[in-house]
Structure 1
Amino acid sequence: MIRPAIPADVPVILRFVRDLAAFEREPDAVEATEAMLTDALFGATPAAEAVIAEGDGKPLGFALFFHNFSTWKGRRGLYLEDLYVTPAARGRGVGGALLRHLAALAIARGCARFEWSVLDWNADAIAFYRQMGAVGLEDWTVQRVDGEALVRLATSIA
């Protein structure tokens, strides 16, 4: 079963985020707190949404997503920020169910695209995504400015 996250799910979501960070070899990178996630998901102006995959009344995984916008398409898209399935639930169709759920949501909301990023060393995930119909954008790379670099950019004089 896949259902929308509720505020009571925030501790589980944060645990899954931390587990995902550890899997992605960045166990100390998570700065998010329960209060931050509560505000981001359920505050006055939510920045993102989440769904929880459950089996036998227990959380098996989650997906956190938000809308972006394509000027070329003239419509919004759905961007998957995090997808995580517990090790015990992997291979049982949970990840595919989460992706299908979000794809259906994207269609229902009139989105032009459903997209996400994956680490280039995660061959299992890449193969899984290809099986699900995803195509890698080989000519595109992610660019990021954060931390002190973000502050320098914001305060630099042209």
Structure 2
Amino acid sequence: MHIRRAEGRDIPELHRLLRQVADVHHAGRPDLFRANAVKYTDAELASIVADDETPVFGAFAEDDATLYGYAFCVFQRHADSHVLTDVVTLYVDDICVDEAARGLGVGSAVYRHVLGFARGTGCHNVTLNVWSCNPGAQAFYEAMGLKPYRIGMEQVL
């Protein structure tokens, strides 16, 4: 396995794993997430992977075609905020490990790669959100050293 920036040629594999994430979210919160959802069009994915402000990292098999896991990232900065400090954050918008590759260290390798990339680009921190209906993901993030820094709450009506 090796980790590299995703490219346009990886779009079919990205879609395959994005569907797995959509299924997990729909199973956990069908009131919020649509069944059989498609998060991005091919054109949107092509734009995301080509943009240096939204790097996508993939863990690929040695054949460089099979995707075991990914991390979609976004650089964030609040340069003109009256409240927030002017630091650069690497926000992990989406992270996934193929359900057939879970427990093999793929997620840890992808996350460590993200951390190294963030350090190398001068980021202050790495952040992400996790849905409370996905306790396995929350446990993984905590095992990777992440700590809650903000908690979202709701009251369904």
Taking structure 1 as the reference length, the TM-score comes to 0.79
Distance in 1 (CA, whole Å) between partners of 2:141 and 2:122 is 22
Q: Does 1:69 align with 2:77?
A: yes
How many Å separate the matches in 1 of 2:108 and 2:52? 26
Deviation at 1:35, TM superposition (A): 1.4
**Identical-pair percentage:** 29
* Structure 2 counterpart of 1:59: 67
Q: 1:97, 1:73 → 2: CA distance?
A: 30
Q: Specify the SS of the correspondent of 1:24.
A: helix
- Of the three residues 33, 36, 41, the one matched with 1:33 is 41
Give the equivalent residue in structure 1 for 2:4: 3
Q: How many angstroms does 1:73 deviate by?
A: 3.8
- TM-score, with structure 2 as normaliser: 0.80
TM superposition outliers: structure 1 runs of 4+ over 6 Å: none
**Residue 146 of structure 2: SS of its match in structure 1?**
coil
2-structure distance, mates of 1:60, 1:100: 15
CA distance in 1, matches of 2:107, 2:39: 25
Unaligned residue ranges in structure 1 (runs of 5+): 144-158
- In structure 2, the residue matched to 1:129 is 141
- Could you tell me which residue of structure 2 aligns to residue 106 of structure 1? 118
In 2 relative to 1, CA 54–31 (structure 1 residues): closer, same or farther, beyond 3 Å?
Answer: closer
Change (3 A) 1:75 1:124: same
Rg larger in structure: 1
Q: Structure 1: how far apart are the matches of 2:71 and 2:146?
A: 17
Are the structure 2 counterparts of residues 130 and 90 from structure 1 closer, same or farther at C-alpha, using a change threshold of 3 Å? same
Q: Distance in 2 between matches of 1:17 and 1:37?
A: 11
Quote how far apart the aligned CAs of 1:96 are. Answer: 0.6
Amino acid of the residue matched to residue 54 of structure 1? F
Question: Any idea what the Cα deviations from partners look like across 1:12-59, whole Å, max 9, x if unmatched?
Answer: 1122112210111133443521112112322xx565221110234221
Residue by residue over 1:92-149, the C-alpha shift from the partner in whole angstroms, topping out at 9 and shown as x without a partner, is 0000111100011111011011010001121111111111110012x54289xxxxxx
Looking at both structures, which has the greater relative contact order when contacts are Cα pairs under 8 Å and sequence separation is at least 6?
2
1:47 and 1:14, CA in 2 relative to 1: closer, same or farther beyond 3 A?
A: farther
How many residues were matched structurally? 140
Aligned to 1:79: 91
